[in-house]
Amino acid sequence: MLQKGGGVNTSWHSYPKVWALGHAAIKELFLDDVLVEEKVDGSQISFGRFDGELKIRSKGQELVVDYPEKMFALGVGVIKKLDLKDGWTYRGEYLQKPKHNVLAYFRVPKQHIILYDINTGEEDYVSYDEKAQEAERIGLEVVPLLHHGKIFAADELTEFLETVSILGGTPIEGMVIKNYARFTPDKKAMMGKYVSERFKERHANDWKRANPTGKDVAQGIIESLRTEARWGKAVQHIKEDGLHEGSPRDIGNLMKALHQDIEDEETDYIKDTLYSHYIKQIKRGVAGGLPEWYKEKLMKSQFGSTEEDK
């Protein structure tokens, strides 16, 4: 739709990458007040009406509203009936059933969708109170607000992990921390996540403490990343993409989804691990021969050598 002044409405855009805490892209996350909200274990879904046309997508893939993927059919049916404000993009987690992914909740959210953000323009977000009011108006729930304000220490966050989920049956999967006032290098609102150890997709790096040899480093990375949680995430991705058959023919698509997840989520971890292990060896190797070279250079200078410095 067109906004005032003839510009194109830009609320229908990709959602910010939610980085794990500690990532360089969100190093300034806690410099201001933040919102800490429950991370619900569902499938991401975004939707909105633009000049009356309903748009729905999940993980960047637009759904065909009249012929959605089987897993999203129930949610699309709900969205079609909602009284959405034209030009706004609503973002939520969709749960087809209480155990949609890994966590087994007691219930699904009201009408199977729980909102976590609403965009009124490009990287423009309504406040939490406005989000809650709009969710109530259209008949949906909103993710719980665990904290609003400054966070000064990691312990303040870990305490929230004992909170029982709004959907019951289990402690929360984790939390999403939002700072709408700051932006990442890709000009997206700064957001981070902290997930309980119970649900992390990466094993603790015990192998590091064993002081592995060079040939063990790659295997150590493999072991830390090879988790059933990560495999389950790959299954969920192909379900969301409408590629799941429930047969061995899924394996090719599972491999592709798994490889893409490693590229998207673990590139920095792999780079940092390899760097920290090999940088000393590389420095020593590059410096090999330098002392002898310099002592020879000094010796020649004693005899007034005019040889050009090399």
How far, in Å, CA of 287 to CA of 228, rounded? 43
Average pLDDT of the chain, as a whole number:
87
Instruction: Give the orientation angle of helix 251-287 with respect to helix 214-225, to 10 degrees.
Output: 150
For residue 207, the model assigns a pLDDT of 43
- Residue 270 falls within a domain, yes or no? yes
Q: Which of the two residues, 194 and 2, has the higher pLDDT score? A: 194
Confidence of residue 143 (pLDDT cuts 50, 70, 90): very high
Rounded CA separation 114/158 (Å): 23
Same domain, yes or no, for 192 and 58?
Answer: yes
For residue 176, what are the domain limits? Answer: 10-198
pLDDT attached to residue 1: 34
Tokens 């699904």 belong to residue? 108
To the nearest 10 degrees (0 to 180), the angle between helices 228-240 and 251-287 is: 130
Q: Quick one: CA dihedral 194, 196, 200, 206, positive or negative?
A: positive
In a domain, 252, yes or no: yes
CATH number of the domain that 26 lies in? 3.30.470.30
Query: Are 139 and 128 part of one and the same domain?
Result: yes
Q: Report the pLDDT value the prediction gives residue 200, as an integer from 0 to 100.
A: 65
Among 178, 198, 218, identify where a domain stops: 198
Provide the percentage of residues in the chain whose pLDDT is more than 90: 53
Q: Pick the residue with more confidence: 69 or 216?
A: 69
Q: Residue 217: pLDDT above 60?
A: yes
Same domain, 161 and 253: no
